[in-house]
Amino acid sequence: MALLRASMDWFRKRQVGRSSHYNELMARGWESKSVEEQQSQTDAGLSGPRVRLTPVQAEARRRKESLQLARKHILRQLETVHNPFHRKVLEDALADLEARLSRPD
């Protein structure tokens, strides 16, 4: 009986060791792929040295990016809107955003 219990304990330890080792390798694999993807995106995004912006330039850039995101959001809404009044409001908002984007800073 003791021999059977010892062999069962040995088998359980071996199986637990395998599953945790397997999961550990999978986690590392996924993690390394994610890190590799992030690094390649970073490398692709940087074509040259970073230029330091003044606070005024940084604020202008943030404002422009915010307007561009709002424009994309309105364009997505226009694709699905059915109410003509809502469509008119969205078109007016889009025209305003485009006018603000075309202004020099």
User: Per the structure, how many domains does the chain have?
Assistant: 2
Asked if residue 66 lies in contact with residue 54, where contact means CB atoms within 8 angstroms, the answer is: no
On whether both 3 and 35 belong to a single domain, the answer is yes
Convert the pLDDT of each residue in 56-84 to its tens digit. Answer: 999 999 999 999 999 999 999 999 999 99
Give me 41's structure tokens: 């995106």
On whether both 60 and 31 belong to a single domain, the answer is no
Q: Is residue 74 part of a domain?
A: yes
Q: Is residue 61 part of a domain?
A: yes
On whether both 59 and 96 belong to a single domain, the answer is yes
On whether both 69 and 95 belong to a single domain, the answer is yes
Phi and psi at residue 40, in whole multiples of 5°?
A: -65, -35
% of residues, the chain, pLDDT over 90: 44
CA–CA distance, 74 with 67 (Å, rounded to integer): 11
97 burial (CB, 10 Å; 0-12 / 13-18 / 19+) is: buried
Q: Is residue 103 part of a domain?
A: yes
Q: Is residue 49 part of a domain?
A: no
Give me 31's structure tokens: 């993690």
On whether both 39 and 63 belong to a single domain, the answer is no
Convert the pLDDT of each residue in 34-44 to its tens digit. Answer: 777 777 777 66
User: Can you give the residue range of the structural domain that contains 81?
Assistant: 54-105
